[in-house]
Chain A
Amino acid sequence: MADVLDPYRPRASLIHRADPRVKVVVAVMSILITAALPLGAWPSYVLLLAAALALSVAAQLGVGFTLKRGLIAVPFALAALPLVFSTPGDVLASLRIGPLALDASLAGVERFASVLVKSYISVQFAILLTATTRFTDMLAAMRALRIPRLLVVIFSLMWRYLFLFAHEAKTLRIARDSRSADVGPKSGGSVAWRARVTGGMVGNLFVRGYERSERVYQAMLARGYDGDIRTFALRPLASSEYAALAGAVVILALLGLLGILFG
């Protein structure tokens, strides 16, 4: 759980030290380019994946780290499975379920594989970003990129209190478990009973969250909050950082162009 909430992996690498604004822009652009690549542009996929792995090694995370974590995207990409059957083309195999005939085509398989690989590569970049950038730095980067301040404050509060909610949920679960002793063959009660208990716990969490939000707002008021959002000014990017940003953007644009023109 803590891993999901706090994916940051502290290392002393150049990538970790890079300005979060540069990293956020490059990561978002990498994801956009990956998404924009045409289907079946395999050489470009390989190049992008190689770039992600190279960064992963440079960030001292190792090759396996992002590769393994990227698997989290695979179940979502399975939503593209119908493409195998819905794309017209040379029939590879036929599946017959009663009156229904499903024809898997070669083109369909390639489409599906492309979607799978593209989503996997996109996630690599997202993982790289979150593993090498503290969330607080990411918030500053969002501010610099002119994401509405209110939204950034909401992200910040969400991140701060998510841990607390996870903790409260755990406390509630322990309280439940300590009162559900195993006394017979049918322990834990019926599904309906368990659903009711779980529903009660969710409601309980909601009420606690609601009450806490009032107290947090009072605490903000007590220190002068007046509806306006104030933060420190960010230091301007150094020229070397602009250069790094421009370099990354040019490389990514070339990769994208290559994929679109030559597949």
Chain B
Amino acid sequence: MERTPLIEVNNLSFRYPDGQQALVDVNLVVYEGERVALVGPNGAGKSTLILHLNGIFASQDGHVRVAGLPVAGEHVKKVRALVGLVFQDPDDQLFSPTVFDDVAYGPLYMGLPEDEVRRRVERALAAVGMQGYGDRVPHRLSAGEKKRVALATVLAMEPSVLVLDEPTAGLDPRGRRMLIRLLDSMPQTMIVSTHDLLMVRDLFPRMVILDRGRVVADGPSADLLRDRALLETHGLELP
């Protein structure tokens, strides 16, 4: 079967304005339908890499392509519709006064007609089990509900790739279970950054370990998770 690369990252390096080198020569190819987990200690560059995938950070050195489009200049808007990015803190993601406004935000900026936007909001909220929450204000939701609405805000854009930054962080066991089941039901290509290695084992066949801005391992999760020495070297631990 011919596989099409959906995301290609070539020799990507990135340095923050304060001089901190966040990414060094990163290479990563993700194919359509794949589920990839990015793991590594805090400050390894996971979030920085994620912010490159839809052009929030412009590549300084090397390049990023999504569905064949370079993530730069005129293509950025197209890429942002293809790559649905869910931020770690749902309070950052949910910036509108109501749940409906927030889920409608992406589709509105895609220039869709209003009735189509409404349909998409309905569908996205239903997909995360939050139908009927449109009128609610975000600060009255529980942490788990906020996470699910945050996911709905990108689902409404019908992206090809879902990129999630630490989706299970800060959730209680039930909220975590629910979210994992929800993610498992999503057909999209998926990239998550996480410390939750149990979720990686259950949900993500492929795992990429980042440490100090470099890709130090990339392979089947089952193999990498068995390599205790490798995990320990990079500050990871399977409970």
Contact = CB atoms under 8 A, between A and B. Distances in A.
Interface of A: 135-136, 139, 156-157, 159-161, 163-164, 212, 215-216, 218-226, 230-233
Quick one: which of B51, B95, B96, B101 has the most chain A CB within 10 A?
B95
A53 to B, nearest CB: 30
Instruction: Classify chain B: how many residues form its interface, as a range.
Output: 20 to 34
Contacts of A226: 77, 109
Interface string B108-119: 111000100100
A230 B112 CA distance: 11
Contact of B114 (A135, A136, A156, A232): A232
B92 A215 contact: yes
Interface in B97-127: 97-98, 101, 104-106, 108-110, 114, 117
18 contacts: A156-B97, A157-B95, A160-B96, A164-B139, A212-B92, A215-B92, A218-B56, A218-B87, A218-B92, A219-B87, A219-B95, A222-B80, A222-B87, A223-B80, A223-B105, A223-B153, A224-B80, A226-B109
A220 B94 CA distance: 9
Contacts of B106: 223-224
A225 B95 CA distance: 12
A156 B92 contact: no
B114 A160 contact: no
Nearest to B55: A221
A139 B97 CA distance: 9
Contact of A224 (B92, B110, B137): B110
A160 B105 CA distance: 15
Given A163-B139, A233-B114, A219 B93 contact: yes
A2 to B, nearest CB: 10
Contacts of B85: 219, 222
A106 to B, nearest CB: 50
Interface string B69-94: 00000000100110001010101111
Given A224-B77, A224-B109, A219 B97 contact: no
Contacts of B108: 230-232
A23 to B, nearest CB: 17
Given A218-B87, A223-B153, A224-B109, A135 B81 contact: no
Nearest to B88: A215
Contacts of A230: 108-109
A208 to B, nearest CB: 11
Nearest to A139: B97
A233 B98 CA distance: 16
Given A136-B137, A224-B80, A233-B114, A156 B91 contact: no
B97 A218 contact: no
B97 A232 contact: no
A145 B219 CA distance: 58
B193 interface: no
Contact of B109 (A135, A159, A161, A223): A223
A225 B87 CA distance: 16
B78 to A, nearest CB: 10
B40 interface: no
Nearest to B110: A224
B77 A215 contact: no
Quick one: which of A139, A219, A231, A232 has the most chain B CB within 10 A?
A219
A141 to B, nearest CB: 13
A114 B152 CA distance: 54
Interface in B128-177: 137-139, 153-154, 157
